[in-house]
Amino acid sequence: MTREESIRIYKTYSRKLFNVSFRIVGDSALAEEIMQDTVLKFIKLQGDVMISQSGPTCPGGQDRVGAWLVRTCVRASIDALRKLKREREFLEDFASHEAVDYPEDDFLPEEYSVEAVKQAIGSLPGPYRLILTLVLIEGLDYEEISGFTGDNEGTLRTRFSRARKMLVGRLKERR
């Protein structure tokens, strides 16, 4: 996709995408970020394919590029709301609990660097690495992960517990 085509796409759809996102998230800065991410995603990943394969309009009269952009923007806005909700719930839950003493096997001293933790996660077998990444880094719940993987939630909880213990063990070995 050329620079001119990218600019044309942005000028044509940015206001509509911003308005759609703003109506969903209610925050102009977040709506603008979502709009820009949507346009960039189109330009980077699907621009050439969609322009070459799409006809000028969809059956409803709206062009296919616009329909794809709006659909993607709506999904991204809903995902942003879910993320905000999870963060808010976490902060409320965290604020409402008193300090908890964790068992010794879950304790990690502050001396572990981010790089050491990344390497330890990377060294875990695939299913354990996946569950740690999805729960700890992406912030997904077991129900969502179950939908992606097809595993039941109990299996995922067990796998997460084992993965966490394996991670602690690997980190302690590296000391």
Question: What is the pLDDT averaged over residues 35-42?
Answer: 93
| Six-digit token string for 73 | 């923007």
| Six-digit token string for 170 | 């690997």
Q: Report the share of the chain in percent with pLDDT over 70.
A: 78
User: What CA–CA distance (Å, rounded) separates 80 from 34?
Assistant: 8
Residues 27, 79 contacting (CB under 8 angstroms): no
- 82-103 core/surface letters (b: 16 or more CB in 10 A; e: else): eeeeeeeeeeeeeeeeeeeeee
Residues 156, 146 contacting (CB under 8 angstroms): yes
- For the stretch 141-155, pLDDT in tens is 888 888 878 889 899
- For the stretch 122-132, pLDDT in tens is 888 888 888 88
User: What CA–CA distance (Å, rounded) separates 15 from 151?
Assistant: 41
Residues 73, 42 contacting (CB under 8 angstroms): no
Residues 166, 103 contacting (CB under 8 angstroms): no
Residues 39, 73 contacting (CB under 8 angstroms): no
- pLDDT-based confidence at residue 58 (cuts at 50, 70, 90): very low
- pLDDT-based confidence at residue 101 (cuts at 50, 70, 90): very low
